Amino acid sequence: MNQPDTPAMSITIRQPRLWPISIIIVLVIAAFIVSVTPSIQNGLRFQFMFLGPIAGGAFFVLWLMLGSRIAWWERFVYLLAPVLIAGGVLSIVHASAKFAMMTYGIPLTMMTVAIGLHLGRNASKPRNRVLPITAALLGVWLLFPTVRLDGYDGAYLPEFTWRWSTTHEQALAKMDSSVNTTPSAWTAAAEEWPQFRGSQQNSRVSLADTPAFDWNASPPRVNWNMPIGPGWSSFIHVSGRLFTQEQRGDDEWVSCYDAATGDLVWKHADASRFTEVVSGAGPGATPTYHNGRIYSYGARAILNCLDAATGAVVWTHDLVDEVEASIPMWGFSGSPVVTNGVVIVYADGRDKNGLMAFDVDSGEVVWTRAWKGWNYSTPQLVNIEGEALMLFGDKSTLHAMNPSTAETVWEYTSEEWNGFAMCQPQQIGANSLIVPLGDGIGVARIEVRKASGEWQVTEAWFSRRLKPSFNDFVYHEGHLYGFDQSIFTSINAETGERNWKRGRYGFGQVILLEDQAQLVVLAESGETILLAADPSVHMELGRLQPITGKTWNHPIVADGQLFVRNAEQAACLTLVMSEQTDTVADSIQ
C-alpha cells in the first residue's frame, strides 16, 4: 500500500516588529529638527541636540532586546556590533569628530538596523540579513574617520569638511606673520573705538556732516582683505591702529595691525589654546585701550597689560593658576573694562575671586567680589541719577555696583530670566535700561530712580519679541534693532511691541550710524547689509560680501572706515572717503 507523500518541513522565521523603532527614529529626527530651529532658545536646542540621540539610543536598546521579536543571537549582534565598530573607529577618528560620533552615530545606527530588518524581513534565515546589516553598520561608522568637524553655525548645523583638507590655521601658519612696520613710530591721539562695542559700549557711531549712504548706488570700497587667526574677538581702533585677539596654533595672540594697510605691527603671544566643539578655536574677548596700554583677556583667563605702541608686557596674570578661575564651556568672552584706575574682569575663581579689579598700572588686586557660574557678558558702565554704576548680570539678576568697591547699589530680578548672562544691558534714557534676560529669552525695560536716598527699580515691560543670544542690539529714537535669534527685528522701546521682523541674516551683529539713521548688519555668512533705522519698514539699502565664512564678531566703524572680521578673514571698507584714505587705497590696489 502506497503511503502519501509527506511534504518537506519548511523553516520560517518570525517577522521583526518594526513599528516601535520607526516611532523612536521619528522622535529622534524631531529632536534634531528642534535642535537646528533658530527660533527656539539656544540652551533648549543644545539639550535636544545632545540628549535626543542618547534617549533614542536607550529606547533602541530596549526595543531591540525586548520588543524586536528577532532571534536572541541576532539581537546581540545588532547590539554589540555597533559598540565594537565604534570603539575601533574612536581610535582613528579626528578629535573634532568624536562629539559627532555620538550625536549622529547613534541615530545612523538605529536607521541602518531598522532599514536592514525591513529589507530583510522575508529572509529565510537570520544570517542572510545579519551579514548585510553588519556590513552596512561598518560602512556607516567608517564615514567618521574621513571627516573633520570645524564647529557648528548659529543654528547648530555641523560644519563637516574632508579630514585631510588643509585647515585655515595650517594655511595661516605657512604665511608670513612678520612685523611690517616700526612699532615705535606711533603715539595715541584719537580713541575712535577703544573698547568692546565702542566708547560707550553701545555699538553706535557718529559720522557728522556725512549724508546718508546708498550702497545700491555707491557701495563702499574694500580697502583691504587679509587672513586672520581664529577667534571671536572684534577690533578696537586707536589712532590708525587696530587691536584684536586671535589663535595662532598653540599660541593665543594679542595683535596690532595698521588700519590703513592691514599690515601686522606687533604681536604678543601667550602659550595658550582654547577650542570647543561648537565655536571652534580662539579667544572670544575684545581688548581694551586705555592711556597708552592694551588690556586683553584670554579664553583661558590670561589677563595682560601691554604697551600699545610696542606690545611689550607691562604686567600679566594667569588667573587659572592664581585663583583657580573656572573656564566656562565657550571660554572667557567678557572683555576687560577700565574705570576709576582699575581694569575689571570676570574670573569665577575660588573664594571671593569671582569679579576682580586690578590696578591699571601695577596689576595689583584692588578688590574682588564672590561670583560663581558661567558668564559671557562684559561689565557695562552707566550713569544714573548722577551716579556712575557698573552693571553685571548672573543667572537671574542684574546687579548695579559701585565700580570702585563692587558693593551692590541696587538689583533687578526677573522670573523670566533663565540662564547665564550673554549680552549687555543698554541705557536708553536718563533712567531707562533695556536688560537682556539670559540666552535667547527676551528683553525687559526697567526704570531706575533714586528718591529720598532710596533706589527704586520697576519693570515697565518684558518682551519675547526681541530675543538676543550672543548678538547685541542698538537703540535709536525710541526703537530697538537687533536679532530675534536669527531674524533681524525692530521693537518699540516704549511698549516692547514688534515693529517688524524681517531679514534672515543668521546670528549676526549690528551697529548704528546715528547721524544717518542707518544700520550696518554683519550677517553670520559674512555678508554686510545696510539698513534704514526705520521702525515702519525693513528697508535694505545695499549689501556686499567683504568676508566669507561663519561670522559672529562685532563690526566697528572708526575714522570713516568699516572694519569686519571673523575666524578666518578681516576686511576694511571705506565709508567716508578722504584724500588720505583715497591715496592709501590706491597704493594697496
pLDDT at 91 over 80: yes
Residue with the larger pLDDT of the pair 588 and 280:
280
The pLDDT of residue 358 is 98
pLDDT at 53 over 50: yes
Nearest to 287 by CA among 319, 334, 239: 334
Task: Tell me the pLDDT of the chain averaged across its residues.
Answer: 92
Q: How far apart are CA 231 and CA 4, in angstroms?
A: 85
The pLDDT of residue 4 is 52
Residues 228-278 have pLDDT tens digits of 999 999 999 999 999 999 999 999 999 999 999 999 999 999 999 999 988
> Could you tell me where the DSSP H helices lie in 10-126?
19-35, 42-62, 72-90, 98-119
pLDDT at 5 over 70: no
For the ranges 115-124, 212-221, 562-571, which has the lowest average pLDDT?
115-124
Given the DSSP bridges, would you call strands 264-270 and 251-258 parallel, antiparallel or unpaired? Answer: antiparallel
Element (H, E) at 342: strand 342-346
pLDDT at 9 over 70: no
Residues 346-363 have pLDDT tens digits of 999 999 999 999 999 999
Residues 286-340 have pLDDT tens digits of 999 999 999 999 999 999 999 999 999 999 999 999 999 999 999 999 999 999 9
Task: Please give the distance of CA 587 from its chain centroid, rounded to a whole number.
Answer: 36
Task: Please give the angle made by the CA atoms of 310, 314 and 320, to the nearest 5 degrees.
Answer: 120
Residue with the larger pLDDT of the pair 17 and 589:
17
Q: How far apart are CA 14 and CA 117, in angstroms?
A: 12
Backbone angles phi, psi at 265, to 5 degrees: -95, -50
Are 207-226+470-589 and 233-332+335-375 in the same CATH fold? yes
For the purposes of burial, counting CB atoms within 10 Å of the CB of 64, is it exposed (0-12), middle (13-18) or buried (19 or more)?
Answer: buried
Q: What is the CA radius of gyration of the chain?
A: 28
What is the share, in percent, of the chain residues with pLDDT greater than 90? 82
Q: How confident is the model at residue 8 (pLDDT cuts 50, 70, 90)?
A: very low
Helix (H/G/I), strand (E/B), else coil: 589: coil
Tell me the helix, strand and coil percentages in the chain, rounded to 5: 20, 35, 45
CATH architecture, domain 207-226+470-589: Beta Barrel (2.40)
DSSP H helix total and E strand total for the chain: 8, 37
The pLDDT of residue 122 is 84
Domain limits of the chain?
A: 19-160, 207-226+470-589, 233-332+335-375, 384-460
Distances, alpha carbon 559 to alpha carbons 232, 239, 254, 574, 578, in Å: 23, 9, 22, 9, 10
pLDDT at 580 over 80: no
Q: How far apart are CA 271 and CA 253, in angstroms?
A: 9
What fold characterizes domain 233-332+335-375?
A: Lipocalin (2.40.128)
Q: How confident is the model at residue 39 (pLDDT cuts 50, 70, 90)?
A: confident
Residues 65-82 have pLDDT tens digits of 999 999 999 999 999 999
Nearest to 495 by CA among 469, 520, 462, 523: 462
The pLDDT of residue 10 is 46
Contacts of 512 (CB under 8 A, 6+ apart): 203, 204, 205, 474, 475, 476, 481, 518, 519, 533
Residues 471-481 have pLDDT tens digits of 889 999 999 99
Q: How far apart are CA 369 and CA 408, in angstroms?
A: 10
CATH architecture, domain 384-460: Beta Barrel (2.40)
DSSP 18: -
DSSP strands (E only) in 347-486? 355-359, 365-369, 380-384, 387-393, 397-401, 408-413, 426-427, 432-436, 443-451, 454-463, 474-476, 479-484
pLDDT at 52 over 80: yes
| Mean of pLDDT values over 413-429 | 92
